[in-house]
Every structure is written in structure tokens, then in C-alpha cells.
């Protein structure tokens, strides 16, 4: 099970005991946090829906004068409360403590030795093997790839590439099982780059004082899904 499948299932049923979901939890801390957040939102919604209308003739009389149907007013109030809670939780989930960008940078720092200028390139057969493991392909000769590895990132194995440019090396992470998102600019911890949507998932392109846009367009044009 990949992260996207996990979040689809947990988003619908935060307390699921699906064995594949529980197995994925053991190896993916980010998805474990997502499940905790979804369970917290589920509890908040349940408490909101459990709100009971006050009893007593005075309360009923006041509400009846205003609307004619006391229960309808309290149903509307509960609905508004649920909407507010869902909106607040959505904002919380969209700003996680460990951002996608920060995780990508931390991953790249673990393979810092790959970020060197070199005229060497990866053997085409090896590059093709790594790309096809993620069910993608890079058109032959499209980019000067000096480094290519399988890497574990966010609970899945992804191609981790380094592309050589005239200005220096640029890292590319091809994350096929990531939620779709809009283009996100990154400038953090000495790295500059972008997360861009792809036909499946996203690609993360990062450099250090190196323009990355030419690599973004080259890779997007050369990737075959």
C-alpha cells in the first residue's frame, strides 16, 4: 500500500482496522500523524453532532416565536458548528509540522555526496531500471543524469536523480504517489527549488544557488508515465 491509497482509506474511515493500513502505519511516520489528525477531527465532529437542544418551556417558546420549529434551529446550529470545525481542521492538516519541502531537503542532505559537479553520467540501462521501478521512464539523452538511486521517501520507493547543468547539480525526486497539489516554491535551509504537479504525483526539483526551472521543464517533458 502506498501513501495515497492509505490516505484515501483513512480519510473515509479514520478508525479502520484494515491490515494493510495497520502495516503501512508501522513504516510511515507521516501517515501515522495523518491518521491521528483524522481521528482527532472525527472526534470533534462527533461531539458537535451530539449537541442537544435545551429543554424547558421558556427555551421552546423563544425558539418557536423566532422560527416556529425549535428542532430545525438546533439542527442548523449544529451544522454550522460542524462546518466551522471541519474548516479549522482542514487548515491544520494543510499546514503540517513537517512540510513536504522540509522532508525532501532532509532526504537530500542524507545523500549530500551526490551534489557535486561531474562529467560522469549514469549508465542508461541502470537509469532505465531505476525509473521503471516507479513505473515511469525518462527519454534517453534528455538530461545529463550523474546520480540515480532507489530511495525510500514518505513510505514509498522513488527515483532520486541528480541532473548536471552548466551552473551546477540539481536534485530531482520523482514522487508518483503524492497527493496532487499546485506548484510550490521552496527556499529553505540553503536550497531553492519547486514542487510541481506531474501526470502522476509530483516532482521535487532542488538546487543550491542554481536555477532549477530549466531542469523542471526538461524533466517534465522527458518523463513518460
Look at the block and give the residue holding cell 473515509.
Answer: 12
In the predicted model, is pLDDT for residue 162 greater than 70? yes
* Higher-confidence position of 211 and 43: 211
* Higher-confidence position of 92 and 26: 26
- CATH T-level topology, domain 100-224: Protein Transport Mog1p; Chain A (3.40.1000)
Q: What are phi and psi of 163, to 5 degrees?
A: -105, 130
Residues 6+ apart with CB under 8 A from 168: 117, 207, 208, 209, 210
State the Cα–Cα distance between residues 176 and 137, nearest whole angstrom.
Answer: 12
pLDDT digits (tens, 9 = 90+) for 163-210: 999 999 999 999 998 887 889 999 988 999 999 999 999 999 999 999
Domain boundaries, the chain: 3-94, 100-224
pLDDT digits (tens, 9 = 90+) for 46-61: 666 665 555 555 555 5
Q: In this structure, which long-range contacts are made by residues 191-200, counting pairs with CB atoms below 8 Å and at least 24 apart in sequence?
A: 191/105, 191/108, 195/100, 195/101, 195/104, 196/220, 198/174, 198/223, 198/225, 199/223, 199/225, 200/136, 200/176, 200/225
Lowest mean pLDDT segment, chosen from 26-40, 82-96, 211-225: 82-96
Lowest mean pLDDT segment, chosen from 11-25, 60-74, 91-105: 60-74
Q: Taking all residues of the chain, what is their mean pLDDT, rounded to a whole number?
A: 81
Total residues found in the chain within this entry: 225
Amino acid at each position: 500500500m502506498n501513501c495515497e491509497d492509505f490516505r484515501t482509506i483513512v480519510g473515509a474511515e479514520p478508525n479502520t482496522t484494515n491490515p494493510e493500513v495497520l502495516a503501512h502505519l508501522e513504516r510511515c511516520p507521516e501517515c501515522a500523524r495523518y491518521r491521528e489528525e483524522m481521528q482527532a477531527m472525527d472526534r470533534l465532529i462527533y461531539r458537535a453532532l451530539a449537541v442537544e437542544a435545551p429543554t424547558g418551556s421558556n427555551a421552546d417558546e423563544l425558539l418557536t416565536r423566532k422560527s416556529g420549529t425549535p428542532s430545525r434551529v438546533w439542527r442548523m446550529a449544529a451544522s454550522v458548528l460542524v462546518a466551522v470545525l471541519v474548516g479549522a481542521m482542514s487548515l491544520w492538516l494543510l499546514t503540517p509540522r513537517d512540510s513536504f519541502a522540509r522532508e525532501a531537503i532532509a532526504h537530500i542532505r542524507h545523500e549530500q555526496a551526490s551534489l557535486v559537479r561531474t562529467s560522469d553520467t549514469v549508465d542508461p540501462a541502470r537509469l532505465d531500471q531505476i525509473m521503471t521501478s516507479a513505473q515511469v521512464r525518462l527519454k534517453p539523452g534528455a538530461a545529463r543524469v550523474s546520480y540515480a538511486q532507489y530511495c525510500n521517501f514518505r513510505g514509498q520507493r522513488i527515483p532520486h536523480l541528480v541532473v548536471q547543468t552548466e551552473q551546477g547539480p540539481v536534485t530531482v525526486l520523482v514522487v508518483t504517489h503524492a497527493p496532487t497539489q499546485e506548484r510550490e516554491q521552496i527556499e529553505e535551509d540553503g536550497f531553492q527549488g519547486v514542487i510541481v504537479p506531474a501526470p502522476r504525483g509530483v516532482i521535487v526539483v532542488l538546487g543550491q544557488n542554481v536555477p532549477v526551472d530549466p531542469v523542471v521543464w526538461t524533466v517534465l517533458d522527458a518523463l513518460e508515465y
